[in-house]
Amino acid sequence: MKVLVIGNGGREHAIAWKIAQNCLVEKVYCAPGNGGTHVENKCENINLDKIDDLVKFAKEEHIDLTFVGPEAKLVEGISDVFKAEGLKIFGPSKKAAQLEGSKSFSKDFMKKYGIKTAAYEVFTEIEPALKYVKTCPYPTVIKADGLAAGKGVVICQTVEEASNTLNEFMINDVFKGSGKKVVIEQFLDGVEASILSFTDGNTIIPFISSKDHKQIFDEDKGPNTGGMGVIAPNPYCTVDVLEDFNENILKPTLLGINSEEMDYIGVIFFGIMITKDGTYLLEYNVRMGDPETQAVLPLLKSDFTELVLAAIDKKLSSFNLEWEKGSSCCVVLASKGYPGSYETGKIIEIKPSKGKVFAAGAIYEDGHLKTSGGRVLSLVSIGSNLDEAINNTYEELSSVNFEGAYCRKDIGKLYK
Ligand code: AMP
Ligand code: GLY
């Protein structure tokens, strides 16, 4: 089999690495890939981005399967185009991708199908939105409707902050259209969990849970990032929480997908909030999490490529998904200054390690791996329990280094 993986993050490195483990896979093309996929077993980077070019490549190279990593291409409708050309692709249709591409679409979907989520209002005009935030309870959460590269959610503590946010989103148009419409939502207090899953439209198979660490500094301080580390499974996802999730979130979601005839074959990632009043759905993503994927996939015992093919063949209901017994811990190494401005082009040294290194903002240039982004690498280890996984990862950290490398020292430490 020849497989095409679209994307260039740590997530896509982990996906390509896992797909390559199937003995029937002879080659994994990564478009565009990164410095990690450049050297990964069976992988080759190709410098293509536009959907038309990817279709042409898939046809010419007789690609058997395409896996779409990031959300933007799915929202653009890549799956519909590939399918219309008779190409096998793993990723939801443009219509289904609206579950991530539009917050108001996803909240309306949640409401329609009785999925437990925070109360909300949608606004397309600034005046009623400004009036609303004068009377709503605080903190309150303002969300840009469209894709905003992870920056479209602001938790506002005061009327003034809320009004400023509305002005930035709706008038100053900081997200170039994506914030013209906003969702204003009830604030939920609790702990978050990420539940990645696969669906074939008839069945949703949840993966083991995971816990991201979004803030840049230890003790969950400082600005939000794309994610600084992950542990899996998530210790807060108890049997009771998972039961609540299954009944009040997963099952009605599947009903909705069916009723709306969404043609959903792909990833559905539930971002949930576990509160003292039960488990709420914060958001859907139609792609895998980053860095959740880097922590979760090393624990997957079943063959990942077979799982993807089972979803495409609508045979997930009979797939026996198996996990290793232990835990995993993923720590992200970022460039100094991230998530603000940072320098690139630093040479990355990697010594042999018992952990697995996935590259993200790293390119291969002049015979060296060099930094090219904010989140540069993730290092992942597994262990027979969470403490062992955490220790293993931190012990191996000295095997990777570059000038100004920064990581959180407390991934997996539980504060609540
Ligand atoms: P979202 O893109 O909707 O997941 O929002 C990004 C982040 O904002 C989430 O991971 C939460 O940390 C936070 N967030 C979103 N909605 C809420 C909410 N209703 N209450 C509290 N925090 C929220
Ligand atoms: N790590 C959070 C996300 O991928 O959305």
**What is the crossing angle of helices 159-166 and 126-135, to 10°?**
170
The terminus-to-terminus CA distance of the chain in angstroms comes to 46
* Domain definitions of the chain by residue range: 2-91, 125-180, 191-318, 327-401
Is residue 123 helix, strand or coil? Answer: strand
Alpha-carbon Rg for the chain, nearest whole angstrom, is: 21
Q: CA 31 → CA 7, 28, 80, 83, 370, distances in Å?
A: 6, 10, 18, 18, 19
Q: pLDDT tens across 150-178, in order?
A: 789 999 999 999 999 999 999 999 999 99
What is the Cα–Cα distance from 200 to 309, expressed in whole angstroms?
10
Q: Among the CATH numbers 3.10.105.10, 1.10.8.10, 3.40.50.20, 3.40.50.360, which is that of 2-91?
A: 3.40.50.20
What local confidence, expressed as pLDDT, does residue 150 receive?
79
What local confidence, expressed as pLDDT, does residue 236 receive?
98
What local confidence, expressed as pLDDT, does residue 415 receive?
80
Q: Among the CATH numbers 3.90.600.10, 3.40.190.10, 3.90.1150.10, 3.30.465.10, which is that of 327-401?
A: 3.90.600.10
Task: State how beta strands 120-123 and 65-68 pair.
Answer: unpaired
291: CA distance to ligand 2 center in Å?
7
What local confidence, expressed as pLDDT, does residue 181 receive?
96
Q: What is the CB < 6 Å shell around ligand 2? A: 212, 227, 285, 289-290, 292
159: CA distance to ligand 1 center in Å?
19
Angle at 335 between CA 399 and CA 369, to 5 degrees: 55
- Per the CB < 8 A criterion, the answer to whether 414 and 235 are in contact is yes
Q: Ligand 1: which atom is nearest the Cα of residue 280?
A: 19
- Per the CB < 8 A criterion, the answer to whether 99 and 284 are in contact is yes
What local confidence, expressed as pLDDT, does residue 324 receive?
97
Query: Strands across the sheet with 2-7, in order?
Result: 43-45, 27-32, 2-7, 65-68, 89-90
Pocket test for ligand 2, best of 212, 270, 286, 375 (most atoms within 8 A of CB): 212
What local confidence, expressed as pLDDT, does residue 149 receive?
83
239: CA distance to ligand 2 center in Å?
23
CATH fold group of domain 191-318: D-amino Acid Aminotransferase; Chain A, domain 1 (3.30.470)
What ranges make up the beta strands (E) of 133-257?
A: 140-144, 153-156, 182-186, 191-199, 204-206, 211-212, 215-217, 221-224, 229-232
Q: pLDDT tens across 195-218, in order?
A: 999 999 999 999 999 999 999 999
What is the Cα–Cα distance from 327 to 170, expressed in whole angstroms?
43
What is the Cα–Cα distance from 12 to 7, expressed in whole angstroms?
6
Q: Tell me which residues of the chain have a pLDDT lower than 50.
A: none
Q: Among the CATH numbers 3.30.1490.20, 3.40.50.970, 3.20.20.70, 3.40.50.300, which is that of 125-180?
A: 3.30.1490.20
The b/e string for 264-292 (b: 16+ C-beta within 10 A; e otherwise) is bbbbbbbbbbbeeeebbbbbbbbbbbbbb
What local confidence, expressed as pLDDT, does residue 205 receive?
98
